[in-house]
Amino acid sequence: MTPTYVLIPGACHGAWCFDDLAADLRGRGHRVLSYTLTGVAERANLANGGVNLDTHVTDVLNALGTVPDPTGLVLVGHSYGGMVITAVADRIAAQVDSLVYLDAFIPEDGDSCWTLTNDEQRAWYAAVDATGWGVPPLPFFDDRATAHPLASLMQPIRLTGATNRIRRRVFVYAERWPTHSPFAATYAKVRDHPGWRTYSLDGAHNLMRDKPEELVQILLDATS
């Protein structure tokens, strides 16, 4: 079965953060789909206080519903995107081959970004912009980044446990955060778990920019 890579960006970012990675995978003959979530980046005009995690999960499920033969999926989530791919996989587990978390949240039922992250990141979430529900981009984010809907970071995820049946789960840890990584605890939790394949890369949170060749190989290996 030929894999289909589905790339979901993190908070404040659009599908463009995967452009180089996607081009490399397509050049190797793979089908690659990447999505900008509602209310973010080039879809920022759709932002409002009601955009939440459910909205973003529906974005991806609706998009996959238009794809011919959406099976053998490799769902790849960066940062906040880990929440989205987990919820999507829980709903369509039979169609998913692998889950790949790029310095990303790995939630269990009832978790949210708020409960999984550290105090520094919670302070960032709380420092909303003038709208009252837009979390502004961090200084080290891409210049194209926009505010992110706060509700999506606060909403608890609801899972049935179906993701436990997915064949392969991968976590890629970024070693170079400007401060303490909010994903350090997540990496420690899965690093020695027999059900996970883990990597630690000498790059910043934007691994797509800092470690593109390594990421391509990790994604290729995820299907082996």
Q: CA torsion sign, 8 to 10 to 14 to 18?
A: negative
What is the amino acid identity at position 29? G
DSSP bridge partners of 173: 200
DSSP bridge partners of 33: 6
> Between β-strands 148-149 and 134-135, what pairing exists: parallel, antiparallel or unpaired?
antiparallel
DSSP bridge partners of 82: none
Residues labelled catalytic: 79
CA dist 39 and 21 (Å) reads 23
